[in-house]
Amino acid sequence: MKRVETTLKNQTETQTKSPWLPYVLPFVVFIGLTAPSSYYPGTTHLLYTAKTIIAASLLWFWRHHYKPEMAPKLKPAGYLAAAAAGLMILPVWILPGAILPQIGEGTGFNPYSFGCPPAVVPALITVRLAGAVLVVPVMEELFWRSFLLRYLVHPDFKQVAPGTFTWFSFVAVMVLFGLEHHRWIQGMIAGAVYAALLIQQKSLRGCIIAHAVTNLGLGIYVIATQQWMFW
């Protein structure tokens, strides 16, 4: 009981002194552990596993900070709209890949390219899919649509209601979210759709669901076709 009280006290102090930290640190850790894979591609699977576990642990530790952004709960129609939005992004992400400009040459995540025993490959695929569906949507939506979208409205972002719209914040986050991705145009389209959901629903739940549905659909497509460059 004392340990729980101490944890809650520490989280309260974090929220008061550095309210941005629970939204920014999981994202920074994840991105920070992505960069070395460009120089050491043979360790990509290890880095992905590590950053997924660390980001998930941070999100769980700070889960109480995110409750206001997750309210209100959506009605069934809201969940369906979010899932439909996520599915809508999927063909946008896949179909025009060969004709739209891209940033760099993405190598994707090929679980067969790391020299692991065949029995390990399914585990790598599972970790990659779990990270993309369960961790990345929560981490990215908290950073982009909960923190940055509101911070660009006012630095005291906690006082800005989720889903508050200004053209500057909407366009800035859309562009930056796109530039985070190898397929930057598709990334901007996805960012605009996810932000529109938040503005309409006033809850981060829809954004996370849409993002997760997109990533799940993409993961299923990649596994079925073995077009690993999309990962």
Q: What is the pLDDT of residues 142-193, one digit of tens each?
A: 999 999 999 999 999 999 999 999 999 999 999 999 999 989 999 999 999 9
pLDDT band at residue 99 under the 50/70/90 scheme = confident
pLDDT tens per residue across span 185-230: 999 999 999 999 999 999 999 999 999 999 999 999 999 999 998 9
Q: Please list, residue by residue across 27-60, b when 16 or more beta carbons sit within 10 angstroms of its beta carbon and e when fewer do.
A: bebbeebeeebeeeeeebbebbbebbebbbebbe
- Which of 217, 210, 52, 219 lies closest to 141, judged by CA? 210
The torsion region of residue 53 among left (phi > 0), alpha (psi -120 to 50) and beta comes to: alpha
CA angle 49, 22, 157 (to 5 degrees): 140
Residues 84, 88: Cα–Cα separation, whole Å: 6
pLDDT at residue 4, rounded to an integer: 44
pLDDT at residue 153, rounded to an integer: 97
pLDDT tens per residue across span 102-128: 877 767 899 999 999 999 999 999 999
**Residue 172: Cβ within 10 Å count:** 14
* Element (DSSP H or E) covering residue 93: helix 76-94
Residues 150, 145: Cα–Cα separation, whole Å: 7
pLDDT band at residue 81 under the 50/70/90 scheme = very high
Q: Is the pLDDT of residue 15 over 60?
A: no
| pTM of the complete model beyond 0.85 | yes
Angle between helices 121-130 and 44-61 (to 10 degrees): 40
Sign (positive or negative) of CA dihedral 148, 154, 160, 163:
negative
- Which of 118, 87, 99, 102 lies closest to 220, judged by CA? 87
pLDDT at residue 97, rounded to an integer: 62
pLDDT at residue 8, rounded to an integer: 43
More confident residue, 153 or 72: 153
What value does the mean pLDDT take over residues 22-47? 92
DSSP state of 110: -
What value does the mean pLDDT take over residues 96-101? 72
